[in-house]
Amino acid sequence: MISKEIAAPLAPPLEKDLMEIVFSDRSITVERICSDAGLFESKADWERLFARSSAQNPFLTWEWMAAWWRHLGAGRKLHLLFVRRDGELIGIAPLYLRKIRQGGVSFYALSFLGDEGVGSDHLDLLSRSGCEDDVAEAIAQTWREERRGWDFIALRHLAEDSPHAARLLRLSEQGWRVRRQAGEVCPYLGLAPTWEAFLDRLSASMRYTVRRKIRTLEKEHRVEFTAIAELNEGRSGMERLIALHQKRWGDRGGSEAFIDEVKLPFHRETAEAFFQKGMARLFFLKVDGETVAALYGFLLGRRFFYYQAGFDPAWKGKSVGMVLMAKCIENAVAQGWSEFDFLRGPEAYKSHWTSD
């Protein structure tokens, strides 16, 4: 066992002392990585595991996790757990250690990478498909037997349908105090085969409103809808999205996603990476040649994750945000996508689209 933890500088060549084995049981071993180098050198292994996982979403990708750590990890400590069976990687617990102060007392908690500041949803352990039980069991045993440097575990934004949750909750049967707390809802749409079939699912009032808003805007103005999936267009498109987002929120407060000086570089980095991988999508609505609304999200397989949007408040009276959303959903239907995930948040407009 290598017991010495080394806080290595950013991404040097990977060496043996960047990890230590913290659990071993027959064919299963668990390695702990606490260095930046260990995270940044794990990209290839992480990506291979992600490709074989049944729980794929953008917030579990190496790109998202590594960027979050690079830009928002100050003052925290990595605590990655890599689960191997006969030497082959079958699972990752993407964790970090954070300090919490309550009532004048400091506590240390293990939490998911990405759980603060950037709206990550569906966080979870990452497991090869079919190995979820083995991975969850190995992680649980590691926590029981090798508790060092932390007081409790707070797995925020854990996916409700996580294949690992049931096993982790069973820690309560072994003397652990376990509390399950409901988080924010993540509304989603199961898409219909045609746009008209989708509209028929909406409430009568919502269906009427959508059709009227589109018809009125197109009657009074020249309306263009564009979709961007290529890197070069994506770079300039992100700047337009950022400008619209700042125009909407800059003066009134609220969202800081594209305003905060720490978060903005994170979003530029992840957008660059996701456009390179073919995952990022940008949609724009132009009215009389002027870009008035933008929507940004991620596509994995046939599932679209709507992440962020912006619009010119001068056009609020024309409901350009609703019109763009309708155009995006219509495009998703035409592309044969199966699901439109609105991600976390109780905003009323989400329930209007997702309530039958």
Write the CATH number for 70: 3.40.630
Residue 14 confidence (pLDDT): 35
Domain around 329: 188-354
Are 70 and 97 found together in one domain? yes
Are 208 and 101 found together in one domain? no
| 197: in domain | yes
Domain count, the chain: 2
Are 104 and 159 found together in one domain? yes
Are 225 and 103 found together in one domain? no
Are 235 and 318 found together in one domain? yes
- Say how many CA atoms lie within 13 Å of 271 toward its Cβ: 29
Are 124 and 255 found together in one domain? no
Are 46 and 103 found together in one domain? yes
The C-alpha atoms of residue 284 and residue 296 are separated, in whole angstroms, by 9
| 5: in domain | no
Residue 59 confidence (pLDDT): 98
| 60: in domain | yes
Residue 18 confidence (pLDDT): 60
The C-alpha atoms of residue 353 and residue 205 are separated, in whole angstroms, by 11
Are 167 and 195 found together in one domain? no
Write the CATH number for 232: 3.40.630.30
| 181: in domain | no
Domain boundary (174, 209, 244) is at 174
Are 192 and 319 found together in one domain? yes
Q: At what angle do helices 43-51 and 62-72 cross, to 10 degrees?
A: 140
| 8: in domain | no
Question: Residue for token digits 């964790």?
Answer: 95
State which residues of the chain have pLDDT below 50: 1-17
Residue 346 confidence (pLDDT): 79
CB atoms within 10 A of CB 253: 8
Domain boundary (108, 142, 174) is at 174
Please, are residues 34 and 79 in contact by the beta-carbon 8 Å criterion?
Answer: yes
* Tens-place pLDDT, residues 229-272: 999 999 999 999 999 988 877 655 555 667 778 899 999 999 99
Q: Tell me the pTM.
A: 0.90
